[in-house]
Amino acid sequence: MSVPEISYDLAVARWEPNARDRLTRAAMELFVERGYARTTVEDIAERAGLTERTFFRHFADKREVLFSGSSQLEDVIVEAVAGAPAATAPFEVVMSALEATERFFAEERRAWSRERQALIVANVELRERELIKLATLAAAIAECLRRRGVAEPAASLTAEAGIAIFKIGFERWVAETARRSFASYVRAAREAFDAATRPKPKRRAKLRRSGR
């Protein structure tokens, strides 16, 4: 439940309920209508019916409207890795943690995520920020694995592989319209990874009959 925010402009108290949600919706509308580069913080605040001061209480800049959930996502994954049973294999620990992000990717958020992804793909600055976010997440997972006793380079390799699977799963989830859970896309990406890294079974030569 959102807590209404009180802002003081010209010494007059004014209620600003759900300011963060309003700013997020306004920003996405404008990014889609005008493009990310042509949208300013002033535009976003005006569309939301709020002040620029209020915007900067919630976001460092307009870019963070699209990335503000990164720290919460990282917290969920790291906590899941840290809390996994000690006997669990590192790769299984990471995969379970990635599936635990399901609540961030509910079906009703898929349309928003699709618009967000399109904006990132179309903008170099945002692509760079997305890569930094994924690299930061991989580093956090690797550090957590090291704390569990996983040595290098296994910890970093496991974390990087997990993030690659997560990225492909997310892209598939955004692109498709089937009403499947986000976790199912992560599992499908993991299966594709397993298939690509598993040795192919050798074909047995057919025994020729001698005809005798």
Task: Per-residue pLDDT tens, the chain, 212 aa: give them.
Answer: 343 333 323 333 344 679 999 999 999 999 999 999 999 999 999 999 999 999 999 999 999 999 988 999 999 999 999 999 999 999 999 999 999 999 899 888 899 999 999 999 999 999 999 999 999 999 999 999 999 999 999 999 999 999 999 999 999 999 998 889 999 999 999 999 999 988 877 666 554 554 54
For every residue of the chain, DSSP letters joined together read: -PPPEEEEETTEEEEETTHHHHHHHHHHHHHHHH-STT--HHHHHHHHT--HHHHHHH-SSGGGGTTTTHHHHHHHHHHHHHTS-TTS-HHHHHHHHHHGGGGGG-GGGHHHHHHHHHHHHH-HHHHHHHHHHHHHHHHHHHHHHHHTTPPTTHHHHHHHHHHHHHHHHHHHHHH--S---HHHHHHHHHHHHHHHHSPPPPPPPPPPP---
